Amino acid sequence: MEIHATLPEKGRDLRLDFFRGIANWWIFLDHIPNNVINWATPRNYGFSDAADLFVFISGYTASFVYARMMLDRGFVVGATRLWKRVWQLYVAHVLLFVIYIAAIGWVALRYADPDILNEFNVAGLVENPIQTLTQGLLLRFKPVNLDVLPLYIILMGFFPPILWLMLRKPDLVMIASLVLYFSARQFGWNFSAYPVGSWYFNPYTWQLLFVFGAWFALGGARESQTVIRSKWLLVLGTLYLLFALVMTMAGRFESFGALFPKWLYDAFNPNDKTFLAPYRVIHFVVIAFFMTRFVPKDWSLLQAKWMEPLIKCGQQSLEVFCVGIFLSFVAHFVLMLSWGTVWAQLGVSVIGIALLCCVAYYKDWSKKQDKPAAKAAKPAAQPAPGA
C-alpha cells in the first residue's frame, strides 16, 4: 500500500517537551491528597486533565519518533525499536512498583498504621504476597497511583501494526479507533484487575487519545487546519470550555451543584475517567486544537531561560514521571505528619517539583557523558626549516 501519512518535520519540537513536562508536574501535584496547590492543575477547571494530555503526547511522540524509522528501515526494525521502548517502560514500572510498595510497607510498620496499606491498595501483599507480586508483574495488580505506566505499556506494545497501517491509511485507523472506543463503552469491555475489579484507565477507551495523538502527528493536524483556524470553532470551543468549567465546579462545590437540574448535574458528575467519557474527549480535542492554533512551533517563550526546567522535565519524561509518583507518596506522608498545614502543602509541592527538575537535569547531563567526547583537531604539521 502507498504511504498516505504526512511525516512530521525533522528536528525537536519543544512544544512536546513543554506539554509533557507540565503534564508530569500536574500528575505529581494531583497525586498528593488534600493539597491546596493541586488547585493549580486543570482537573479542577474542566473535564480532561493531565492524564489525557500525557496519553495524547505519548501517541504523538511515538509516531513522531518511530514512523520515519519504520519507513526507512522496514517494519521489523521499527517494531523491535518500539518493543525495546516497551521493555524500558516495563522495567521502569517494576522498579517503581517494588520501591513504592516497600516504602508504603515501611511507613505502615514504622508508624503502626496498617490503614495506609488499604489506602494505597497494597494490603493483599501481606495476605498473599507471592500471588499478588506475580499479578503485579503481569500488570493486573496495581497500587494506587500506579495506573498510568501499565496503560502506556499496553498501548505501546500494540502500536507497531497500528503505526504500519496508519502510515498507509491514517483516517481508516482513526475510524477503527473510534469504533473500538464506542464498542468498549457500549459493551463494558475492560481489562480485569487483581484481586477484583478492572483497570482504572480502560485501555479499550483510552487508546482513542493515543491513536488520536499519532494521527495528529502524521498529518491529522494539517488536515484539520480548516477547522482549527475557523471562527466557529473559536466561538463554540470557548463556550464548551466555559460549560466544562461550570459543570466541574458544580461537582467540586455541593451548594453550587444544587443550582442545576439533577439530570444535568448527574450527566457530568462524577467525571467518567475509567471509560473516558465523550465529553472528556471533546474537551481535550478543543484544547488541542486551540493549542495548535495559538502556540506555534517557533513560540518565542519556548526559548526563554525560565522555561528550561519545564522543558527538561519533558525531555526526560520517564524518569521524571516515576520519581514524581514516588515523591507524591512521600509528600502525602509528610503532610500526614505535619497535620497538612497550607505551608506544609506549599513546601512539599515546591520541593517535589524542584527535585523533579534535579532528576531531569541530572539525566540530561548523564546522557551527554555517555557520548564520546569530540576529539580536538590535531595542529597542522609545520614545514621544516628552509623548506
- DSSP letter string over 173-200? HHHHHHHHHHHHHHHT---B-SSSSB-S
Q: Looking at residue 387, what is its pLDDT?
A: 44
Nearest by Cα to 213 from 85, 316, 84, 64:
64
Does residue 290 share a domain with residue 312?
A: no
Looking at residue 381, its pLDDT comes to 54
Written as tens digits, the pLDDT of the chain (387 aa) is: 678 788 877 778 899 999 999 999 999 999 999 899 999 999 999 999 999 999 999 999 999 889 999 999 999 999 999 999 999 999 999 999 999 999 999 998 888 888 888 889 888 887 888 999 999 999 999 999 999 999 999 999 999 999 999 999 999 999 999 999 999 999 999 999 998 999 999 999 999 999 999 999 999 999 999 999 999 999 999 999 999 999 999 999 999 999 999 999 999 999 999 999 999 999 999 999 999 999 988 888 999 999 999 999 999 999 999 999 999 999 999 998 887 799 999 999 999 999 999 999 999 999 888 877 655 555 555 555 544
91 shares a domain with 222: yes
3-state secondary structure of 31: coil
Examine residue 13 and state whether it is found in any structural domain, yes or no. no
Residue 88 shares a structural domain with residue 142 = yes
Is residue 149 within 8 Å of 96, Cβ to Cβ? yes
pLDDT value of residue 305: 93
pLDDT at position 382: 56
Within a domain: 11: no
Residues 33 and 51 in one domain: no
Contact 202, 190 (CB under 8 A): yes
Residues 112 and 33 grouped into a single domain: no
371, part of any domain: no
> Which helix (H) or strand (E) covers residue 41, if one does?
none
Do 343 and 261 have their domain in common?
no
Position of cell 467540586? 252
Residue 163's pLDDT is: 96
Q: How far apart are CA 332 and CA 336, in angstroms?
A: 6
> Is there a single domain that holds both residue 34 and residue 172?
no
The residue with cell 495559538 is 294
pTM: 0.93
Q: Tell me, yes or no, whether 309 and 320 share the same domain.
A: yes
Under DSSP, the state recorded for 273 is T
pLDDT at 372: 72
Name the domain count of the chain: 2
Same domain for 345 and 260 = no
Is 308 found in the same domain as 271? no
- The closest alpha carbon to 271, from 45, 76, 55, belongs to 45
166 and 179 inside one domain: yes
d(CA 20, CA 53): 8
Is 373 within a domain? no
Residue 322 placed within a domain: yes
The reply to whether 370 falls in a domain is no
Flag whether 14 is in a domain. no
User: Residue 26 belongs to what domain range?
Assistant: 21-43+303-360
> Are residues 297 and 308 located together in one domain of the fold?
no
The whole-angstrom separation of Cα 321 and Cα 100 is 13
Asked if the structure places residue 382 within a domain, the reply is no
